[in-house]
Chain A
């Protein structure tokens, strides 16, 4: 039996890796990958809480996060491609 604290630490590690990428990167695609990492960490946290509490709500939130991530990636990549065609760069530096 894995303790809940260890699952929380793993999700925190993935979330913090994504947060560091979000703060440090200047490329739009890399920032999107970092946001996906943060969403992934949050989804893993919900699964851990589902296993710990023994109810279904965390799994439903996991499915919701996956749907949000899929919709967000579709829109964000369209915006990134439009930005790339207009500015000929994917960098966010001024």
Chain B
């Protein structure tokens, strides 16, 4: 990450704009134990209270790192019930990085966020329908599969 992804100019701007970045040496046993870190790189998104929002283990190149952490930032908004902002992040990830590994998760949370705003279950069914079309083999399509039972 330090050789390829973190020096990337887009990554630098993205991280500085969206996060408070902190690096901890894996030799810090107190924190690795606290966060159950057993491998590097491990990157965790936390809220200000220290609650975990998202975790990634393993290398991500810039074109995967940015959409993955757009989704993470969206989930942070989602957890704060800032659904318009959350949907903005999910939409940006889908629009700018439609073939990234984070895209299916972005689509899943896009519709779930709409459900949370409205409590209308049709959005969960739309999550399943959209995922089935765009990402038929994704784990997120499987996670959305119960929603196929909701009437369209």
A and B form one complex: no
Could you list which residues of chain B lie within 8 angstroms of chain A, going by C-beta atoms? none
